[in-house]
Structure 1
């Protein structure tokens, strides 16, 4: 936080996440009020995922072609306009879905640009601490502001929640205007976005470490999509908990996710240590198996605190490793590809998880989720073990 450029990036991302907390709660409540069905709410998840799958190759190419800060500012301004328009179309669920798709599409460009900028403004030894700061701010924003968003919707209506989100994007864009990032080298020759995207995929497929980490990402998404969405089923059918107790489980995850990066940044600053990168996957896999075995509320809460800790520390070290290793000219394309792998695995997991729960029971889903996370850790370990320190 002593570094001025990092403070500006941290401020921009944190403020926009404040607005996201209001937007997420308000959108779910609005869609449910318009459709009256869980299927309608599930459509919001699909609206978030589809733009990533469709636009990620184009987004990655543009992020590597254009000034990344300008890409982020443009995405923020587009999201601000869409969020501001939501109150004027909130009587039509089709229009709400349409704007949700637009918000997600703009984020497809913002996210890889943001990930690519960070290693340009902090040293490698600061990446773990820098990512920890961003992650902790995001988790605390969600935990603190999500309940407040529900109050705002209940007292003032949906409009104010959406306008708060629009204002947060404008504030984020204003903070980014002063962010100075070293210009990346000009390209030797012009190329089409299709060739750029193909080059990024070729680099990813041809390098042992990136290929292993991509597989790790996909396997983890196959696990987390189903277990995250079906935690409520596990709580009711296996743990025999009521709605209030389920809220305690969600809170336990938030506590672990908030404290994880604070602990991590105090014990290591090396983003290439396999134990810190892949250990969290093992930890989460074991917790999934424990949750499918135990039956007590308090033991489940303790396990989910550990799960949240593993989720946050794993995200920080995994991103830090990628930022340290990916060549500057390829960052946008590689990060966009990893986003696409995560969302495609998550979508597939959501589709198959429900079927598996009906056929084999919810405990089988969590045992399988744990096995997938252990497989993810093993795959990543092989890649790290057989790869030189730098690309």
Structure 2
């Protein structure tokens, strides 16, 4: 068969009925996530006017990963992963509906962010771990590309609408949309049939921390750990404080902030299409680590220019780096790690990433308030180049 007529990896993955169900559920919940993300950062910045308070919101999303990550990985490997995902979705729906009606106090917003993240700690490694059971091995990259493409297309379409909705109707409706999306996702996932995970011994600290031992025994996984930690030291602050960059450096409001998020989404949508044209083998330094070079260059450009027009294509390039890097990372782990410990490995990397991200946000929020947001982006770009 001529290469140009070869079946699309994304199309192959979506042809699998069980993966298609996961894909639809994930896409619907991503719609709600987009409204929630835009509303949350705008709300906190309007309530406080402080970059460090905005960073505090993200910090409350990170702490549960550090506290619960290893336990969540064990739960994902020991219990039925579909049940774990459904329970997490229903819990997040309850929090979202509560936030829709009570969002005037900063402490409640922080508590909601903490609750969302606590449940996502269980949902995310479960969803990542089931993919190899839903598609053929050659379609793992296509499956990850499909999930990322749907997520970022949702961002492209909905982020500007979310910004406009918050500007004209306030954040309440955006949070309600998020709650409804979690309910719909849970309904779809209740009928997702997957094999039960391999038998895992009952809870012991040895079993909970098994992922750490697996990583230490693998040179590839150890190197990936170091790179992820350095990259998170950059991305934590720059992603959390994008709203501050928009309002203080680029001098734009909520609607334009939505367009900045959409620019990232456009680039991230292009990333999977580019990746599937180039290769199905993503376990190479070019595809695993090259995206950090691209993103670092973008951060330096954002620090150097206050032009909104210039920032839009730069953030598009950032989106390409984000999606291609994440697809390569997820696919490499799914192919290199045994199913019996896959949940714990994904949870371990979540802990590594979020621990470094928390440190980054704390330092970045302080620097943004004391020295300005451009210093944060300049330092973030330098760290990504090092990674």
Q: TM-score, normalised by structure 1?
A: 0.84
What displacement does 1:29 show? 4.4
Instruction: Tell whether the 8 Å contact from 2:159 to 2:262 is kept in structure 1 after alignment.
Output: no
Residues 66-93 of structure 1 show CA distances to partners (whole Å, capped at 9, x for unaligned) of: 0111100111111112222334443443
**Structure 1 residue 306 and structure 2 residue 312: aligned?**
no
Per the alignment, residue 115 of structure 1 pairs with: 128
Per the alignment, residue 379 of structure 1 pairs with: none
> Structure 2 CA distance, aligned partners of 1:106 and 1:366?
30
Per the alignment, residue 180 of structure 1 pairs with: 193
Per the alignment, residue 228 of structure 2 pairs with: 217
Residues 85-105 of structure 1 show CA distances to partners (whole Å, capped at 9, x for unaligned) of: 334443443333323211211
How do 1:324-363 and structure 2 match up within 5 A? 324-354=335-365
SS of equivalent residue, structure 1 residue 62: helix
Residues 349-380 of structure 1 show CA distances to partners (whole Å, capped at 9, x for unaligned) of: 1222355568887666545433432332xxxx
> Structure 1 CA distance, aligned partners of 2:371 and 2:103?
40
Larger mean Cα displacement after TM superposition, 334-343 or 223-232: 223-232
> Structure 2 CA distance, aligned partners of 1:297 and 1:193?
53
> Structure 2 CA distance, aligned partners of 1:39 and 1:160?
26
What displacement does 1:62 show? 0.5
1:260 to 259, 271, 274: 271
> Structure 1 CA distance, aligned partners of 2:75 and 2:318?
36
Instruction: Tell whether the 8 Å contact from 2:79 to 2:196 is kept in structure 1 after alignment.
Output: no
**Gap regions ≥5 residues in structure 1:** 377-391
Distance change in 2, residues 1:38/1:367 (3 Å): closer
**Structure 1 residue 85 and structure 2 residue 98: aligned?**
yes
> Structure 1 CA distance, aligned partners of 2:118 and 2:338?
25
**Structure 1 residue 243 and structure 2 residue 256: aligned?**
no
What displacement does 1:263 show? 1.7
What displacement does 1:282 show? 2.2
Per the alignment, residue 159 of structure 2 pairs with: 146
> Structure 2 CA distance, aligned partners of 1:249 and 1:149?
12
SS of equivalent residue, structure 1 residue 243: coil
Q: TM-score, normalised by structure 2?
A: 0.85
> Structure 2 CA distance, aligned partners of 1:329 and 1:213?
20
Instruction: Tell whether the 8 Å contact from 1:271 to 1:277 is kept in structure 2 after alignment.
Output: yes
Distance change in 2, residues 1:62/1:305 (3 Å): same
SS of equivalent residue, structure 2 residue 351: helix
Per the alignment, residue 389 of structure 1 pairs with: none
> Structure 2 CA distance, aligned partners of 1:202 and 1:301?
43
SS of equivalent residue, structure 1 residue 270: coil
SS of equivalent residue, structure 2 residue 193: coil
**Structure 1 residue 69 and structure 2 residue 82: aligned?**
yes
Distance change in 2, residues 1:203/1:296 (3 Å): same
Per the alignment, residue 202 of structure 2 pairs with: 191
Instruction: Tell whether the 8 Å contact from 1:32 to 1:38 is kept in structure 2 after alignment.
Output: yes
Per the alignment, residue 10 of structure 2 pairs with: none
Number of equivalent positions: 372
Instruction: Tell whether the 8 Å contact from 1:256 to 1:305 is kept in structure 2 after alignment.
Output: yes
Instruction: Tell whether the 8 Å contact from 1:271 to 1:324 is kept in structure 2 after alignment.
Output: no
Larger mean Cα displacement after TM superposition, 191-200 or 291-300: 291-300
